[in-house]
Structure 1
Amino acid sequence: MQRVLSEVKELGIDVQFVELKKDGYSLVEMNMIFINQYLSEEKAKEVLIHELAHFKFHSEYSILYKMKVPHLKMEQEALN
C-alpha cells in the first residue's frame, strides 16, 4: 500500500482516508482521492487503484461524472 501511496503522491494527487458511506471516490478536478478509512488495507489498495484509473482514463471528462449514464460507463471502464 505504501508503494502505491508514494506513486500517487508523486503524481500530485492527495489521498485522504475519511469516514465515507462508500468505498471511495475521486475529485479529478481537485487532484484528490477519498478512501473509506474503515476498509482493510487490501480493500483500500484496490479502491485506490480503481480511483487512479479514473485519473488515467477520465480526467478530461470530470464534468460528466455529474451525469448518471456517462458516470456509470466510466465506472465500468475503471474496473477493467
Structure 2
Amino acid sequence: MAVANMEYRTEKKAKKKAYKELKEIARSEGKRPPPNLYPSAIKEIQAEEKKYVMDRFYNPKLIEIAKKMKEERDLLLQDRAASGQWQ
C-alpha cells in the first residue's frame, strides 16, 4: 500500500510540474495559460454535486422532507430519554 501511495504522489507531482511548465511557456509567449489538464478529482466531484447541494437549501420539497426527518429524529430521541433506553 505504501508503494502504491508513493507512486501516486510522484505521478501527481510530475503532472503538477508539467502543468506549471506549460503555464510558464504560455506566459513567456504572451498567451493565456491552458486549462488545467489534471484537475483535482475532488473538485470534479464537487462540481457534479453542486446542483444537488443547492437543491437541498432551496427546493421546497426537499426542505419539507428534511423537516420531517428532523421531527422524527427528535421524537425518537425523546422516547429514548423518557424510557431510559439507549440502543
* TM-score where L is the length of structure 1: 0.28
Larger Rg over CA atoms: 2
Q: Which has the higher contact order (CA 8 A, sep 6+)?
A: 1
* TM-score where L is the length of structure 2: 0.26
Q: Which has the higher strand share?
A: 1
Q: Which has the higher helix share?
A: 2
